[in-house]
Amino acid sequence: MLDIKFIRENPDIVRNACRVKNFPDVVDELLMTDARVRELKTVTQTMTAEKNKISREIPTATDKAPLIQRSKEISQEIANDMAALSDLEIKLNDLMHRVPQVPSKNAPIGPDESANTVIKTVGTPRKFDFTPRPQWDLLDMNNWWCPEKIAGICGTRTYALRGELAELELAIQTYVIQKLISKGFTYIECPAITKPQTIFNAGHFIGSDLSVMNDDVFMLNGTDRCLAGTAEIILNSLHTDEILPESALPIKYAGFSPCFRREAGAAGRDTRGLVRFHQFNKVEQYIFCKPEESDQMHEFLLNNLCEIMQDLELPYRVIANSTGDMGFNKVKMNDVEAWIPSENTYRELGSCSSIGTFQARRTNTRYRENGTNEVKFVATLNNTGIALPRALVPIIENHQNADGSVNIPKALQPLMGGRTKIGGTH
């Protein structure tokens, strides 16, 4: 969430953030509630001081009755005001959690993904000398999955890979983790089971009512737990309530976990192939840093994913996401999209996001500045390392051969026992 002082001093900036991000403008109601909270705190402090003064006077007073009566009246007034203050503070807390992050001045302004802009395009889509097969045909002919059988066992939007493609998925995951470790990341294998508050602390949902998550998050009935949709959720809360030394920053984590999403808003989308499931695997890049380092760390994270796209020998492009497409908690966001031959278009494989201090204020994650000894909130950033099986789609489609085999990118061949291709008739 934002700093209340920033909202008080910059209401027009915050109102504009609500407008360009398509969220309800609660700024006036928030400021009125904040003013009443501060007023009631002052009143109760003043009355408490008066009551304490009377309490000191009672033992030596000749006529104690009026003082005792006044003390009782003040106590009741304080109780009434404290009850009103408690209600107002709950309301203020909810309103604070309805204010979106202020987007970067450089972010494209627009209502949705239609306003996104292309920053750069790398690589040229392959010109095939045969009719390329879509992903599901390659999966079928190579016996790399059994979708009907798995759907019957596990339900829709589930998958299971088999044989060499399952090996390739593991090789990709391993390659990305090793690459990030070589770049100074600490690898963490994260649990997928967590508490709803942990998801709330990541700042993806609006307001303070945790039930708002129920359409998107798998809640585990009969428990106080749920399933996380990304390792970012866990990594974000690793340093809750800590004051880190400045010398420890930036902290770079590469988190791997199974990810679970209900995909309630995606009915009918991507029902064929390996794009959208209730469960998938993801390697996530996550950074805690000083706010002034945020832009530098954003480029670092984005470049890592771009390098991975090149290592996988994929044509790709980088998108600047518009204010209406970047979500509630982001300062700026860049999608990295890979070319999908069967669709004749690019599809998103990862999103790089700068969050500012928005998440850190929810988790109370701070650092102590060298020299001044001042305690400040850290900034956080995240980016996909690789999401699987989605990343397999451009890989098998772009690297396919006429006989249905798939060439293995050179970077992955050592992790595939030296093989240069899988599937087909080899």
Instruction: Tell me, yes or no, whether 103 lies in a domain.
Output: no
Q: Provide the pLDDT for residue 237.
A: 97
Within this chain, do residues 19 and 168 fall inside the same structural domain, yes or no? no
Task: Give whole-number Cα distances, 277 to 135, 164, 261, in Å.
Answer: 15, 21, 8
| Domain ranges, residue 238 | 113-422
Within this chain, do residues 264 and 410 fall inside the same structural domain, yes or no? yes
Within this chain, do residues 92 and 173 fall inside the same structural domain, yes or no? no
Catalytic residue among 77, 348, 368, 419: 348
Q: How many domains does the chain have?
A: 2
Within this chain, do residues 247 and 304 fall inside the same structural domain, yes or no? yes
Catalytic residue among 98, 133, 261, 361: 261
Instruction: Tell me, yes or no, whether 101 lies in a domain.
Output: no
Within this chain, do residues 89 and 125 fall inside the same structural domain, yes or no? no
Q: Provide the pLDDT for residue 296.
A: 98
Within this chain, do residues 189 and 221 fall inside the same structural domain, yes or no? yes
Instruction: Tell me, yes or no, whether 134 lies in a domain.
Output: yes
Catalytic residue among 157, 276, 347, 368: 276
Examine the residue annotation and report whether 113 is marked as an active-site residue of this protein: no
What gap in Å lies between CA 367 and CA 183, rounded to an integer?
Answer: 23
What gap in Å lies between CA 118 and CA 123, rounded to an integer?
Answer: 14
pLDDT in tens, 338-366: 999 999 999 999 999 999 999 999 999 99
Within this chain, do residues 92 and 119 fall inside the same structural domain, yes or no? no
Within this chain, do residues 68 and 122 fall inside the same structural domain, yes or no? no
Of 96, 124, 153, which residue is a domain's last?
Answer: 96
pLDDT in tens, 278-316: 899 999 999 999 999 999 999 999 999 999 999 999 999
Q: Does an H or E element contain 137, and which? A: helix 135-141
Instruction: Tell me, yes or no, whether 190 lies in a domain.
Output: yes
Examine the residue annotation and report whether 390 is marked as an active-site residue of this protein: yes
Q: Provide the pLDDT for residue 62.
A: 83
Of 68, 96, 124, which residue is a domain's last?
Answer: 96
Q: Provide the pLDDT for residue 214.
A: 82
CATH of residue 72: 1.10.287.40
Encoding tokens for residue 317? 């492009």
Examine the residue annotation and report whether 269 is marked as an active-site residue of this protein: no
Examine the residue annotation and report whether 261 is marked as an active-site residue of this protein: yes
Torsion sign over Cα 394, 399, 403, 404 = negative
Within this chain, do residues 127 and 88 fall inside the same structural domain, yes or no? no
Within this chain, do residues 183 and 228 fall inside the same structural domain, yes or no? yes
Within this chain, do residues 229 and 87 fall inside the same structural domain, yes or no? no
Residues of the chain short of pLDDT 50, as ranges, are: 264-265
- Enter the pTM of the model: 0.92
Of 96, 121, 145, which residue is a domain's last?
Answer: 96
Catalytic residue among 351, 353, 354, 405: 351
Catalytic residue among 133, 362, 390, 397: 390
Within this chain, do residues 334 and 380 fall inside the same structural domain, yes or no? yes
Examine the residue annotation and report whether 8 is marked as an active-site residue of this protein: no
Instruction: Tell me, yes or no, whether 22 lies in a domain.
Output: yes
